Amino acid sequence: MRDAFVAAFSGSSWPLALLIYMLIGWAILRPSGSFWTRFCTVIGWPLEMVQRLAGATGLPYLFLLPNMVVFGLFTFAPLFINVGFSVTEGQSIQFEERTFAGTDNLSRLLSETQIDTGAENREDDKFKAAVYDTAIFVILQVPVMIVVALMTALALNREIIGRAFWRAVFFYPVMLSPVVVGFLWTLILKRQGALSQTLISWGWISEPIQWLTDPSWTMFWSVLVYTWAHLGFYMLILLAGLQAIPRDVYEAAEMDGTPAWRQLTRITIPLLAPTLLVVTVLSLIKAVQAFEELYAMNVRWISLVAYIFDTSGLRGQPTSHGLGIAAMASLLVAVVLICLSLLQVYLSSKANKP
């Protein structure tokens, strides 16, 4: 062991560098106390120095700094870059090769005529169709999500056999990749998939159905799959809210002979209202951003995010104004999401006021 250790560090400057590092720490801090206390102080002398310089109140911000740097690079920087794309035009992603366009991309997105040629503008029809389809999806999916998540949370909050197991089962889809979810359901819902073959064998239908492209079914299955994939997240939030309700409130109601339905409507729902508000706003935001599962399933309708994805040229042939139009459309979606977030903050603060 000793020979291997010596051979590993022979000819290396690391032992000398480590010795110098510890001597500097010893000279600067002059640690006291037991041997292990002094040893740990010398090993971590840079943090000790930072704590002495920044104080007890400044040290937490030092630990938050790396996270804020990463957050800024991957959140705020792309946001500002996107704003730059929305007011410029051209195929290049280099700003020096793009020309300033002002609000031209907004006009290309919403006006009835093309500002470049004067012909009929079809881009606004595609954008409005995406907005309409997304609105229908949100209107259908959010109430279903809230109701199913609440019912699931109420069931899993009761004393049932294998409660922890069932909680894990309902939360498991959240941990799956959205693309995996989409392909999994595609195997079930495609024309020769498991669902059509099963229904044919039962004699319920005479020929296979393409559930994901049939206009009568595509929205239904989009809502169902998206709800299945994200149910566990909202169920967990509601379950935490239910467990925060004092048990003695229910005991007092039971002593008064209050039926279970009245306990639900008069105790559970009112006390769970702040949590339901959070779930509602979060599910609204998530539904507006729906993309991965729907894209993987190749559903018939186009969501807002899918429209932005296609228009930007990330899939298909890039166009001269596509990137700017997609950036402008994403800003409009961002404004909607910001308004929903502000609504949540306002309603939450109002609900918490005595």
Domains of the chain, earliest start first: 2-65 (no CATH), 122-311 (1.10.3720.10)
Q: What is the C-alpha R_g of the chain?
A: 29
pLDDT of residue 135: 92
* Global pTM exceeds 0.85: no
Which helix (H) or strand (E) is 88 found in, with range? strand 88-89
Nearest CA to 305 out of 160, 50, 133 is that of 133
Long-range CB contacts for residues 166-172, cutoff 8 Å, separation at least 24: 167/239, 170/231, 170/232, 170/235, 171/232, 171/233, 171/235, 171/236, 172/232
Residue ranges for the chain with pLDDT beneath 70: 1-13, 15, 45, 47, 50-59, 314-318, 351-354
> CA–CA separation, 293 vs 223, rounded Å?
11
Judged on CB neighbours under 10 Å (0-12, 13-18, 19+), 324 is buried
First to last CA, the chain: 68
> What pLDDT is attached to residue 324?
86
> Which residues are paired to 100 by β-bridges?
88
Pairwise CA distance, residues 103 & 328, whole Å: 9
